[in-house]
Amino acid sequence: MADTLLFNPRTYDPAHFDQETRRLLRATVDWFESRGKRKLIEDYRTRAWLADFIAFAAEEGLFATFLTPASEGEPGQGKRWDTARIAALNEIFGFYGLDYWYAWQVTVLGLGPVWQSDNAAARARAAELLAQGEVFAFGLSEKAHGADIYSTDMLLEPEGDGGFRARGSKYYIGNGNAAGLVSVFGRRTDVEGPDGYVFFAADSRHPAYHLVQNVVDSSKYVSEFRLDDYPVGPEDVLHTGRAAFDAALNTVNVGKFNLCTASIGICEHAMYEAVTHAHNRMLYGRPVTAFPHVRRELTDAYVRLVGMKLFSDRAVDYFRSAGPDDRRYLLFNPMTKMKVTTEGEKVIDLLWDVIAAKGFEKDTYFAQAAVEIRGLPKLEGTVHVNLALILKFMRNHLLNPAEYAPVPTRLDAADDVFLFRQGPARGLGSVRFHDWRPVFDAYAHLPNVGRFREQADVLCEFVATAAPDEEQSRDLDLLLAVGQLFALVVHGQLILEQAGLTSPDEDVLDELFAVLVRDFSAHAVELHGKNSATPQQQRWALDAVRRSVVDDGRSARVWERVESLAGTYEMKP
């Protein structure tokens, strides 16, 4: 019997979506399955460009349907920006390969500055290009500047007619070889400071656009390109001044939400392969899965993966229900980015420890999963950048709750218009959250939720009584250790909220919280050892260490679920 918590192409039927969405999601799965595993792996190994995938998406109108806001489509076309179905598609792409996901992801990013723009002609052009099956690109990064987007060297010289000549290079720009429209970030030569920023639309086929190279060795085309006196007409200007900077950050806010579900898809495919292999491999006359440590590792991997899914599904609801008076998504979004994707790394590590040599074999999906899973925590803001962001919300989230109307499950066919009207990306420290405690109370009957709750309570004590002082608050090394503890509380909270809405097996939940208790203890010990931790903080850190509640019967029941994954999915050859 198929596990209902994991995506399985054999049984996949997203009946919770409308007819056309359901058809397109299923058609995508069918396209990959009918193309088969041999071709999937061969293209990965030969770094083939994704032309057939892009042709399939064009023929089905896949990107156009999923990535055109309702306001830019015709009534009855089913076009809308719907984060729930976008998340479902991410998971499918991740399941079949991060290269496919990446071509779609940078299209999402490339569209961000356009859909946020007041330039109606540019929006109409983008909608038309999408309808023609074109892909897009997001030209923010530069070779010398990394996360420091303030220091752009893409220079725009005014032409006097509202247009510019653009000169400069961009680096790490996905789809820069093929995009019908590249959203490029730069600054004017005649205006100092933030007022000089400009986002503009470029065409990768224009003669003044020079493709230099693919900077990575992959089917992903992560380009370096150069603009030599590229003419930017007034009709190409998407944003100017601070609005251009906000558009960059808000685009990354929208785009980085896709990394969690991609990571989930990768882990799911790898999990089927790993459990099936381990279950069938006989050593000393017994299956490998008879070893207690193998059971522990596969069980941990499984419950971590379930946690990733529950958290991400719930985060979708906050993302879709966000508005000027509810910006809680600004915390849950970097959480999906750094927490879910690093959980993904742990899942693959655990699986790989078990399947060992098999994970290197060229005819497995696992070999690419092991490589690609590493990218997600590092792109669109590193773990550090996202943790630093998460820390801004800690005090209000833990200690200063506010009242909000309950946020329901959001699988409805709505257009998520707020995402393109997020406004200034400031004032994070003033965002308030609903109380995190009631949902823990609702699951207090699960022993490990109770144990974890004790740890969350002591973290509140820490923030109230032993929080980093002025000098320590400049020590990001220490702060990031605190951030990891806080991130765990938020992770647990949304997992339980989603559990309350979907009632997954409680053995699985308790087993998952046993893992989270161990994680909290490990991060507390890490904090204890930080150079600048004060004696009070060191004492606090050790006091926060807890042992998770052992229940052999529960672990055995969860193991049975994991073992039953063996043989339930193998990609068609």
Ligand X SMILES: Cc1cc2nc3c(=O)[nH]c(=O)nc-3n(C[C@H](O)[C@H](O)[C@H](O)COP(=O)(O)OP(=O)(O)OC[C@H]3O[C@@H](n4cnc5c(N)ncnc54)[C@H](O)[C@@H]3O)c2cc1C
Residues that bind ligand X (CB under 6 A): 106, 138, 140-141, 146-147, 172-174, 216, 220, 222, 375, 379-382, 384-385, 388, 476
| Least distance from ligand X to the Cβ atom of residue 186, Å | 12
Task: Give the type of residue at 122.
Answer: A
Indicate the burial class of 113 (C-beta count within 10 angstroms; 0-12, 13-18, 19 or more): buried
Residue number of the CB closest to ligand X reads 146
Choose between 246 and 510: whose C-beta lies nearer to ligand X.
Answer: 246
Nearer to ligand X, 294 or 379 (CB): 379
Q: How many CB atoms lie within 10 A of CB 242?
A: 15
Judged by phi (left if over 0) then psi (alpha if -120 to 50, else beta), residue 166 lies in beta
HSE-CB for 559 with a 13 A CA cutoff = 16
Q: Shortest Cβ distance from residue 53 to ligand X (Å)?
A: 17
Cα separation, 51 vs 98, in Å, equals 15
Closer Cβ to ligand X, 172 or 272, answer by number: 172
β-strand partners of 185: 199
Contact 449, 513 (CB under 8 A): yes
The bridge status of strand 209-214 relative to strand 237-240 is unpaired
Least separation in angstroms between residue 177's CB and ligand X is 12
CA dist 515 → 2, 297, 304, 451, 518 (Å): 24, 11, 8, 11, 5
With respect to ligand X, which residue has the nearer C-beta, 191 or 216? Answer: 216
| CB 173, min distance to ligand X, A | 5
Q: How far is the CB of 495 from ligand X (least distance, A)?
A: 26
Helix and strand element counts for the chain (H, E): 21, 10
C-beta of 79 vs 256, nearer to ligand X: 256
Query: Cβ distance 513 to 448 under 8 Å?
Result: yes
**Mode of pairing for the β-strands spanning 136-139 and 155-158:** unpaired
**φ, ψ at 78 (rounded to 5°):** 75, 10
Assess contact for 100 and 53: CB atoms under 8 A: yes
Compute the distance between CA of residue 64 and CA of residue 56 in angstroms, rounded to an integer. 12
**Of 141 and 364, which has the nearer Cβ to ligand X?**
141
The number of beta carbons lying within 10 Å of the beta carbon of residue 179 is 29
Q: Could you give the angle at the alpha carbon of 185 between the alpha carbons of 184 and 187, nearest 5°?
A: 130
Least Å distance, CB 216 to ligand X, is 5
How many residues in total does the chain contain?
573
Task: Name the phi and psi angles at 197, rounded to 5.
Answer: -65, 145
Cβ contact 414:80 at 8 Å: yes
Least CB distance to ligand X at residue 34 (A): 28
177 versus 409: smaller Cβ distance to ligand X: 177
CB of 331 to ligand X, least distance (A): 16
Q: How far is the CB of 389 from ligand X (least distance, A)?
A: 8
User: Does residue 103 contact residue 174 with C-beta atoms inside 8 Å?
Assistant: yes
Nearest distance from residue 507's CB to ligand X, in Å? 38
Using the minimum distance from each CB to ligand X, give the nearer residue, 216 or 407: 216
Which H helix or E strand runs over 185?
Answer: strand 181-188
Pick the closer one to ligand X by CB: 125 or 220: 220
Least CB distance from residue 146 to ligand X, whole Å?
2
Quote the CA–CA distance of 320 and 86 in Å, as a whole number: 12
Determine if residue 193 is left, alpha or beta; phi over 0 gives left, psi from -120 to 50 gives alpha, anything else beta: left
35 or 226: CB nearest ligand X: 226
- Least Cα distance to 105 among 37, 172, 31, 154 occurs for 172
Closer to ligand X by Cβ: residue 179 or 275: 179
Distance between CA 76 and CA 521 in Å, rounded?
53
Q: How far is the CB of 57 from ligand X (least distance, A)?
A: 18
- Other beta carbons within 10 angstroms of residue 564's beta carbon come to 14
Residue 61 or 375: which CB sits closer to ligand X?
375
